[in-house]
Amino acid sequence: MAIKDQTALKVVLDEGADARPLESSERFALVNALLDKGYAVARAVNGDAAKAAGPDVLLLGRFSEIRAGAHQIDAFDVDRICDAVEQARSSAQGLKHGEWKPWFPVIDYDRCTNCMQCLSFCLFGVYGVDEQQRIQVQNNDNCKTNCPACSRVCPEAAIMFPKYKAGPINGDVVSDADLQREKMKVDISALLGGDVYSMLRERSERAKSRFSKERDSDKALKERQKCLVKLAQAGDIPPEVLMSLPAPDEIQRRAEEAKAKAQAALASQPV
């Protein structure tokens, strides 16, 4: 099931009129433990819990009267409470957090010029266009974890990966110097042979040739690793992403498909 079709259980810690409040240290330990597991937790005072009620909500609290569907916190034991929350999630078939690292591009439409370079570049079908032929992220979970390569081809630094280590890709303010650097990266990519994928194809062809001449698998493997390290540095692409790319023919097919999608979208844009 795609990530966007999944629903998540929300936990509400009710500390309103009908529930005794937790000690501050207990509250912190419980909320922190649930957040570490990826859950959303609301602390509700002054009757806010009633507003939060719903099918995907689990109420926790030290209630003065037992409530149907709510989890009574008696003896304070974080592990037991977390187990109860996990059971409720499992029963409700809610999203199991942590199975996917949320790594995907976020578009800054204040900067985006709809040039379609990202759509043309991405081999994994992350991007698409809406009815108005505007670029959008359509398949978040197709994105390759820790790979910010598409943000490198964006001439406006409009593509962010909020979990990236450095600005402006992480969402930090874009500077003139950043824009110059981004342009340089695109140029480097062009100098290397049009784009990183065509470079990869060429290197793969050369590697094939070496395989047949040398029949030395260790040497060939070392050469391949050396090439991948160079590519990874050029586009800040994690080596494991490059290692997992499909066969050269399939890369070419996908690259042409992506380019055709981008050209069609550009052709449909109002002049």
Partner 1 sequence: MGDCFMATPRILYCHCAHAQVVPREVKAAVLQKLCDSNASFEAVGDLCEMSARRDPALKQLADSGAIKIAACYPRAVKWLFAATGAPLPKEGCEVINMRVQSADEASGRLLATDVAPNLPQGKETAN
Q: Which residues bind partner 1 (CB under 8 A)?
A: 3-4, 6-8, 10, 24, 27-28, 31-32, 34-46, 48, 95, 97-98, 100-104, 106-111, 137, 140-141, 160, 162-165, 167, 170-176, 179
Minimum Å distance from CB 155 to partner 1?
13
User: In angstroms, how far is the first alpha carbon of the chain from the final one?
Assistant: 39
Distance CA 271, CA 20 (A): 64
Let me know: does 158 contact 111? Beta carbons within 8 Å. yes
Let me know: does 105 contact 159? Beta carbons within 8 Å. yes
Whichever of 31 and 123 has its CB closer to partner 1, that residue is 31
Distance CA 96, CA 118 (A): 30
Whichever of 135 and 200 has its CB closer to partner 1, that residue is 135
Minimum Å distance from CB 243 to partner 1?
22
Minimum Å distance from CB 3 to partner 1?
5
Whichever of 37 and 62 has its CB closer to partner 1, that residue is 37
Minimum Å distance from CB 105 to partner 1?
10
Give the pairing of strands 19-20 and 57-63. Answer: antiparallel
Whichever of 32 and 132 has its CB closer to partner 1, that residue is 32
Minimum Å distance from CB 132 to partner 1?
14
- Token pair, residue 60, equals 């926790």
- Token pair, residue 169, equals 């890709």
Whichever of 174 and 228 has its CB closer to partner 1, that residue is 174
Q: Residue 42 is inside which H or E element, if any?
A: strand 40-44
